[in-house]
Amino acid sequence: MHEGGLPVPRRAEIVEAFDGICGDPLKLYGLSGRQELSARRARTIPTKATMYELMTFASEVATHRLDNPKAKNLLNAWIGDSISQEFDLELSCTEFPDWQDFFIKS
């Protein structure tokens, strides 16, 4: 069965890995589900992931996990937009943990 053009097990694997690098912001803020957040608030909740980790993760998913060219292009466009935007990340990361070779285990 496919959900959004991606096999459900593969989609679950990607979401689980994404949650692993971001932590569980819902739990951190005492929320029981995503429906409790407005879209605007969801975009501003801090996570434990750095922008570098998010871009690396998106790149890995686009190049190694997706078969659909449109989906790949959307992720690559997000990476390009993120790199080209002016936003202040100064002091947003004070610790630099060991770099992970692969975010999604094969």
Mean pLDDT of 6-16: 88
Tens digits of residue pLDDT in 54-85: 889 999 999 999 988 999 999 999 999 988 88
* Mean pLDDT comparison of 24-28, 37-41, 72-76, 79-83, highest-scoring range: 72-76
46 and 54 Cβ atoms separated by less than 8 Å: no
Q: What percent of the chain has pLDDT over 90?
A: 22
Ordered alpha helix ranges (H), 44-94: 51-60, 69-84
Q: Smallest Cα–Cα separation from 103: which of 50, 43, 67, 33?
A: 50
